[in-house]
Structure 1
Amino acid sequence: MVVSGASTGIGAATARELASMGYHVLAGVRSDQEADTIRAQGVEPVMLDITVEAHIEALAERISRDPEQRLLRALVNNAGIEVNAPVEVLELDRWREQFEVNLFGHIAVIQKLLPFLRESRGRIVNISSVGGVAALPIFGAYAGTKFALEAASDSLRQEVAAQGVQVVVVQPGGVKTEMAAHSGTISLELADRMNAEQQHLYGDLIKSTVASNAAFLKRAMPAEKAGEKIARITTKPRPRTRYTLGLDAAFTVPLAHILPGRVMDRVFAASRPRRTPSKS
């Protein structure tokens, strides 16, 4: 098994759960410190920044030269970053960075490891998001990467089905992870750097969206539970093409396919706390 983005959060929990089920997991990390944290019985850390070609090449070499000649049974594409700001405000370099990690990096890993998965008739599990179906305000770049991953997964699934390779998409809603917790702080920091006009146009929207997400994360699914569910999905004999994780995802994903866009806009707007205008 290979799990990218396995240093913390969902990736770490998935790697540990797969190991507890008896699988040997190559867990992608980006530093020696992260490697020491995740290393355990059945969990072998490997340096894997999915935007670095040499790391992907080294991973393929590790798989091809496995000392026990084990086949690669599954690839869990979990690595990701999240930087949220209004479309007009977020710098293009930040847009490109998120697409490099959340989309192109996964495609690079898939392209390199598909031959191994053909040999084992294995499985690709792409960790998307409820944001890959319905995008909140200020989440345009992050959600854009997930919408794209959803589309690529659909095409890939049809392309490799006859080769015996399965492609599964997992759509988590809110999950308690370091990335999710830190994303609100990043958004507020970016908002502080906006000019006066941007502050007037978007300041309240950013603050209310961040506040809403922070309140939701307090009761969101723990990363450990998400990892357990993903591990089970990864090893199901006959998986579905898509799974949601969490009540919010189970509620939002069907609505996004049924309700008109402006109705969904009102649903999202109603979930944000109203800001009381300050008295002059």
Structure 2
Amino acid sequence: MAMPSTSKKVVLITGCSDGGLGSALAQKFLRKDYHVFATARNPSKMGTLSNQPNVTLLELDVTVTSQITTAVESIKKISGRLDILVNNAGRNHFSPVLDIDVSEAKEIFEINLWGPLALIKAFMPLLLESKGMVVNTTSVSGYLNVPYMGLYAATKRSLELLAETIRLEIEPFGVKTLQVVTGAVESNGQTYFGDWKLPDDSMYKPIEELIKHRVRGGDGHPREAAEKYAQEVVGDILEGKTGKVWRGGNSASTKRAVTTDVPQALLDRGAARDTGLDQVGANIEG
């Protein structure tokens, strides 16, 4: 039986559907002569990568244990090694905190927190062999209490805190860990909210259309091109950076705001600007 090829370094990237950040990252790694294992819940949505050399497409829902096991076995069989694991797959979510469905909230945590942890645990034996790297896509929203993004922010900051602890625990074994604190980037992250609406009994019904506009990307924040973001992130990874890097639109300004002594009232005003909460307050006062 033929032995697996190990001539190229190998990266596995989750969440590689067309138009997303995972696909952009995959393209950059291909240019660096990596073999890319690109994954998505639906492989048919990875058309951009499907016919390229040095790409293996895998079906992977990060919440399904059997699919994680199959992905590990596939990499062992095809390449025999893994140098970099990129936990990019995630699910966005928008809702006032009081309107969050707790069962749905648990599903979001399964995708954005427990799924990445399961992958880190499953692939760690291979990463220990290669003295490789774990990369996690987190979010600037985890540092700002932006209205309607509380659940998503909580999942991403939770992943970051967990991964930063793993970083210290795994460094003695030669494996690096990097968290990419991601700002606004052009992607398909808002495309699955076409039927978004508030519950009928929501206190925020008077501003539902304004919130819906924000949900679909109309928050006024400039978005960085996915290609530029991917170029910078792959550069960070290949330079061997560890800890946290801040990439994407608004990431530098967010980092400055949360790492300096900016008054909370000023941060709150920035987070609540154009969210419609002033309209709700005016209606109540009226």
- Shorter-chain TM-score: what band? 0.7 to 0.9
Shift of the 196–29 alpha-carbon distance from structure 1 to 2, 3 Å rule, reads closer
Query: By how many angstroms is 1:127 displaced?
Result: 0.4
Q: 1:197 to 1:37 in 2, by over 3 A?
A: same
Q: Which residues in structure 2 correspond to 1:109-188 (within 5 Å)? A: 109-183=119-193, 185=194
| 1:233 is aligned to 2:239 | no
For 2:219 and 2:266, locate their aligned partners in 1 and report how far apart those are by CA, in whole Å. Answer: 23
- How far the C-alpha of 1:132 sits from its partner, in A, is 2.0
Which 4+ residue blocks in structure 1 deviate beyond 4 angstroms?
Answer: 207-211, 271-278
Task: Find the residue that maps to 2:228 and give its secondary structure.
Answer: helix
Q: Distance in 2 between matches of 1:79 and 1:155?
A: 20
> Match for residue 261 of structure 1?
264
Match of 1:216 in 2: 220
Corresponding letter in the other structure for 1:43 = V
Structure 2 distance, partners of 1:253, 1:140, is 18
- Measured at CA, do residues 263 and 208 of structure 1 come closer, stay the same or move farther in structure 2, by a change above 3 Å? farther
CA deviations on 1:20-64 (whole Å, 9 max, x unpaired) are 110001001222412444221122111111001111001110122
Confirm or deny: 8 A CA contact 2:139 2:183 kept in the other structure: yes
Specify the code of the residue in structure 2 equivalent to 1:100: E
Given that residues 137 and 209 in structure 1 are in contact (C-alpha distance below 8 angstroms), is that contact kept between their aligned partners in structure 2? no
Aligned equivalent of 2:59, options 47, 55, 68? 47
Contact 2:144/2:271 (<8 A) preserved: no
Q: Give the root-mean-square deviation of aligned CA atoms.
A: 2.5
2:205 corresponds to: 199
Counterparts in 2 of 1:171 and 1:33: CA distance versus 1, 3 Å: same
Q: In 1, are the aligned partners of 2:86 and 2:135 still within 8 Å (CA)?
A: yes
Equivalent residue runs for 1:28-107 within 5 Å: 28-39=39-50, 40-66=52-78, 68-69=79-80, 71-107=81-117
Post-superposition CA distance 1:141-181 (Å, at most 9, x none): 10000110111011100000000000000011111111135
Q: Distance between the aligned counterparts of 2:159 and 2:175, measured in 1?
A: 17
| TM superposition shift of 1:261 | 3.0
TM-score, reference length from structure 1: 0.87
CA drift at 1:247: 4.3
Identity %: 28
Query: Aligned equivalents of 1:247 and 1:177: distance in 2?
Result: 12
Number of equivalent positions: 268
CA distance in structure 2 between the partners assigned to 1:63 and 1:95 by the alignment = 32
- Greater relative contact order (CA < 8 Å, ≥ 6 in sequence): 1
Contact 2:145-2:268 at 8 Å conserved across structures:
no
Structure 1's 197 and 140: CA in aligned 2 closer, same or farther, altered over 3 A? closer
Structure 2 stretches of 5 or more lacking a match? 1-10
> Judging changes above 3 Å, is the alpha-carbon distance between structure 1 residues 122 and 197 closer, same or farther for their aligned structure 2 residues?
closer
